[in-house]
Each structure stands twice: as structure tokens, then as C-alpha cells.
Structure 1
């Protein structure tokens, strides 16, 4: 045995055989006391016991780390090398049986996973084929998630040490597995608690599938998507970019209607699933509003260049006031980014945050008048001047031809359109229904 860990495993596995076969317990205790691996009180407790088996059990209560267990083995080697050699042989045979049984079990599990595999992803199909054949594929925690952390299965990583891999549930569902170290896994638990809300079962929000832990890591199993928006945007026409923008807002609408503030809206948190649906992701810093409240008071969250005016204008060492309107301004920045092929409405580089503070923006990279109107009303400097998420998804920019035609048929040829003060109740009702967010005359 080459290491302290090997000796410790030996002592743990062969505990009962050692208790039954070690003869001169006090000689071992003398050695361990001399080397300071047990204290005087433990030594006296061992000496007070009879027979040898009870003395050994008492001695084992003091072997509480790998170093002391290794020291015990070294002392036994000096005292009774033949016994140690005999028990080491038995230990190796036990481990060989365990490994064989474990390998057989892993092979059976892999075969069952291959049978259950629900092939869905087009982009990662080849990787899943390799994963299911990989001997290093392991079950995690509760046995419901399977993962291999080789680089070829890695999807990405986060600033806090989080790693994301392709993986599989025990029912054969393909998943993305977020892994983080146990000492820093509270964000992962926060994300799980948000996504488990049944109100977030929505086609524009990434689905929660599983959560488990082991000794070192926590794992969150999420719906596997095909692309980040950044990978996807280059080949899209304006109609598809409009669809992406609308679906981001529909996902945000589901969040806000559930009383949740995202707090970290940005391009890398926009994913595209295998069916082409846009899904809002990464809820590690999201927060639930308490019943009746409109504000969450917390330390600053979010990502540089993707924070609202009121957050940037707050003091760095104080709590910030997050509202749904905070999300809306950043979602407006993201809408411009999507529709302009990757530009920020508040400029570039280091000037962005200062421009957000001052409310200095430009929209010269897009030409659609209705898109500009939507974004202008979302990124307004004052929170109370911004659209709500419900008003944003109802904006005429997203109207289809049928809805636009219906509106124009109702109001377009009526005299009160030019004479607002004499508008009929029918006209006003139509205006109220179809233009909730701003002056109706500009939409005709």
C-alpha cells in the first residue's frame, strides 16, 4: 500500500478481522501514544478494557483520520508482519470482488441507459453516442444523473467555477448538468428552488429536471439546449430575430407573473432548444418577491454592461432595490442587441455604464420604427417610464398581419381618429384593447 489513503481504506475494510486477530493491543497503543496519534485519555480507556477485542474496539475510536490509521498499520507491521501480510492478501481479494461486481453493475447500467436513451439533440448526438460507451460514465449522488467530466463532454463554464457538461437522466433523457463545488453551491440551490415553481413550466424558460449532491460537488440537471444565442445569431433573418426577441419577453413575462425577478439578463443566458424555441436561462441570482411586495433589497447582482440605471447609480457597498422594471430596462438592451446583430444601445466598451447612468443611448443599427419605439420605452432612464413586461409583449412590433389588419379596420377609416376628443366608445374600446402601452393615434 503506497499512501495514507490506501492504509486508511485497509483499516476501514478489515476492521473486524483486525479486532479479532490483533494480540498485543497495548504494545500498539504504546507506539501510537508515543507518536502522539492517540492522547493519554484514549490510552487509559484502552488499557481499562478486557479482553483484546474490546481493547481494539476502543483503540479504533481514536483512529479518526488517515494519518492515525496509517500509523497504526506501520506499528502493526513492526509488531506482527505476518498478520498484516495475511490480512493485506484478504483485503486485495475483497477489493477485486468489489471491483468486478461494480464493473458488472456499471456495464448493466450502461446497457439500460442505451436502451432508454431518448435521442433528441441533433448537435450533440455523436457526443451522446460516445458518452454511453465511455467507461468513465458515472452515476451521481442519488443515481438519477449520469455524467463524465472529460473535456469532450463539456458545454461551458462560469466565473464562479461552475462547469456544464452533457449528461443523462436514468430514464434516458438528455440533460445539461451544471456542476459546482459544495462550498459554493448556494446559487445552484437557489436556481433549483426558482425553477421548481410550477408556474415556470413554460416553453420559453429552461426546464429543471433534477438535483443531486455528492461529497465534493452539487449537480443541477437542466433541459439541454442546442445553442447559445451568440452561436445562433449569425445566420438569422429579421423575422427570426423578432421571434427570438418576442420569446425572450414571453419567458420574462412568465417569470414576472410568478413574482420572480431575473437580475442577470444578458446574451449568454439566452438559449435555443432543438425545436428552435428561445429559452431564458440561469436563475442563480434570481429572487422571488414576497407576497404584496414590488421590490427585492439585496446586494448587487448581475453582469457588467447589463445592469439597470438605478443599480449602477446605487452605492457599491449598499443594498440595491431590484424591481421588475430593473429587468425590463436590461431586457430592452438585450432586445436591441438581438435585433442589431450584437450591438449595445448604450455604446461600446467602458462608455456603456456611464451612458446607462446618464440615459444616453442610440438606435442607429436598426431601422424598424416600431422596434425602436419598443426599445425606447423599455430602456427609459426612469423606472416608472418603462413598459411593463405585459405591455412589452403587446407592443405593435409583435403584431401579426391579422391583428394589425383587425385594428386598422376598426379604427383606420373613422373620423374620430383625427378628432380624438369626439371618439366613440367603440373606437376607444378598440384602442384600449390593442394599444395598451402608448398613444394610439401614432399606430394608425
Structure 2
């Protein structure tokens, strides 16, 4: 691939992101995530994962990777879909004056994220860092899951091992991460619930301005479910409660949540088949007996 590096548009723990310009391409602009080759293990893993997820339109596209030597420095570069509208965090920040995003837009983004998470989980992976900064908005206004630097394959119950430390963004961490350092698909659903609240209200579900991280972690572990803000619609409140169930065994899955009335009316796409088969819904008949409240 022939390309040129443009301006820097972001940076993180695992590298810096630049605009990339491709010659003779129908998609001239891309995002290039780069890291020093000697420190590129995480970036290489992210590229491999994204190529596994290329069939899902709700996950940021990866066009491949290469190595380059620039200014005497050897770099590893991953070529990603460019999202010109920035991150969901940017959208939320702009919406604070209005008190959050319009609920119809929240429903649309939430359904897209659920479709992406269902695809990831059915392939046996967990993202481990779902939050507004890691969700990008493409040129058509669609939300896409990005930043898979912390993603990993999860173990079956018989193979479960305690993880080494808490990983992720504190305000979106599920209680079981802090208490037991356990990472399974329900941790992504908890983080999604926190993200939905933030989209609707313009504020994080946990209100800890400049608090010590250990204070935040202790509060999450001891309080469990955060207080659900007032002003949410009945369907939105119930959806959030299904996500923020303290017991991960009772927390709803992405497939179950796709049938929830809060997002079921949205028709942004169909669930992407995994390994050639359509995943079986765990919802057993939908919402014939739907009631408001937590599982």
C-alpha cells in the first residue's frame, strides 16, 4: 500500500494516531495507528483481532498493517477506517448544553453497539474497555466499536483464571472486575449500560469529579448498581437496569438486549452470522411478558 502520513489526531497508551492519505484509492483517507516496533506487541494483536472482525459493519474496519522507518525510527503501523465525526465522547461533550443526545439517536447507537458486541462475544472475545472514547462515529453518523488494545479471548468456566489486576476505564468497570478481577462478556454489557446513561444525560453514571481512583473503585464495589438518573423514559430505564445488574450471571447478554423494546424498533442492521451460523437468542420468546424492573 502506498500512503503518506498526515497530521497527528490522537494518542494513547499503545501508540499515536495520524491521518493517512492513500494514493489511487476509492477511500483516500484512513487513520494510521503507529507505535515503535519494539513496543508494538499490543498494536499487532489489535490488528489481528480487527481482521477477524472484518465481517461486522459495527466494528471499525482494518485495512492491514506494515512497517516503516521514519526519521531513523522503526515503526509498526495499523491502517484503520477514518471516522471523520470523531468519538462518541466528542458527541456527548457537545450535547451537554442540551442535557444529552436525543433518545432516538441513543437508541440507534446502542443497537449498533449491541450488534458489534454480540458479534465479538460469539467469536469468543471480550473488548474490556467499552466507553464513549472508544466508540467512533463514521461519515454517515453510525457508531462503531474501536480500540481493541485490551481485548482478549475469554476462557470457559472450567479454564477460568484470576486476571492480573484491573484493566479498563474505571468509571465503566463492572463490580466483578474490581472485586474478583474476572473478565467475561458481562463486563462489556455493564460498560455499555454506563455509556447509554452518559449518552442520555451527558454525564457519567458515576459522578466522581477528580476523585482518587481507589475511592471510585471502592465505591463501585461496595455500592454495586449506581443510582439511575431521573428523566429517562420507562424503556430506557429498564434497559439500563438490565445492563447494570450486579450479579454478572443475571446481567442480560447482547443478544437478549437486542430484543429489548428500547432498541428493538430500530432497524440499523441484522445480527452478523458467526462461523456461518446465526447465533441463537437467549431471550426465549422476546417480551410477551415484559415487565419494568431489574432481573
TM-score by length of 1: 0.54
Q: Distance in 2 between matches of 1:282 and 1:389?
A: 19
> Which of 212, 216, 219 is residue 66 of structure 2 equivalent to?
212
Q: What is residue 230 of structure 1 aligned with on the other side?
A: 89
List per-residue Cα deviations over 1:174-222 (Å, max 9, x = no partner). 210001111211111110111111x542121001101011351110000
Which residue among 322, 340, 352 is the counterpart of 2:201? 340
**Residue 173 of structure 2 aligns with which residue?**
307
Match of 1:8 in 2: none
The 3 A distance-change label for structure 1 pair 311 and 384 is same
- The 2-side partners of 1:329 and 1:210 are apart by 31
Query: Any conservation in 2 of the 1:176–1:222 contact (CA below 8 Å)?
Result: yes
Cα distance change, pair 296–336 in 1 and its aligned pair in 2 (3 A): farther
Find the counterpart in structure 2 of residue 164 from structure 1: 17
> Higher relative contact order at CA 8 Å, sep ≥6: structure 1 or structure 2?
2
**Contact persistence 1:371–1:397 (CA under 8 A):** yes
Q: Which residue of the partner structure matches residue 251 of structure 1?
A: 116
Structure 1 or 2: larger helix share? 1
Change (3 A) 1:366 1:298: same
The 1-side partners of 2:34 and 2:266 are apart by 45
Distance 1:183 1:441 in 2: 54
SS at match of 2:46: helix
How many angstroms apart in 1 are the aligned matches of 2:51 and 2:266? 37
- Output the CA distance in 1 between the equivalents of 2:219 and 2:201: 18
d(CA) in 2 for partners of 1:340 and 1:187?
34
Higher radius of gyration, 1 or 2: 1
Please report the TM-score for the alignment, with normalisation by the length of structure 2: 0.79
Contact 2:106–2:196 (Cα < 8 Å) also in 1: no
1:331 equivalent in structure 2: 192
Superimposed CA distance per residue, residues 386-415 of structure 1 (whole angstroms, 9 cap, x where no aligned partner): 11111112111113299xxxxxxxxxxxxx
Alpha-carbon distance, 1:281 to partner = 0.2
Query: How many residues matched?
Result: 259
Change (3 A) 1:195 1:327: same
Higher strand share: 2
Contact in 2 for aligned 1:294/1:324 (Cα 8 Å): no
In 2, are the aligned partners of 1:295 and 1:322 still within 8 Å (CA)?
no
Is the CA contact (8 Å cut-off) linking 1:147 and 1:165 kept in structure 2? no
The alignment's C-alpha RMSD in Å is 2.6
1:356 aligns to 2:213 (yes or no): no
Aligned to 2:237: 372
Could you say what secondary structure the match of 2:195 adopts?
Answer: helix
Is there any run of 5+ residues in structure 2 with no aligned partner, and where?
96-100, 268-282
Structure 2 distance, partners of 1:224, 1:311, is 32
Q: Residues 188 and 196 (structure 1 numbering): CA distance in 2 closer, same or farther, change over 3 Å?
A: same
Aligned ranges 1:288-303 → 2 under 5 Å: 288-289=153-154, 298-299=163-164, 300-303=166-169
| Equivalent residue number for residue 440 of structure 1 | 290
Q: Distance in 1 between matches of 2:261 and 2:178?
A: 31
1:307-354: CA deviation from partner (whole Å, max 9, x where unpaired): 21111124xxxxx3211112111111111111222x222332335433
Unmatched segments (≥5 aa) in structure 1: 1-143, 315-319, 403-430
Distance across 1 between alignment mates of 2:5 and 2:241: 46
1:168 Cα deviation from its structure 2 partner: 2.7
SS of the equivalent of 1:323 reads: coil
Among candidates 265, 277, 281, match of residue 142 of structure 2 = 277
**Inter-CA distance 293–370: structure 2 relative to 1 (3 Å threshold):** farther
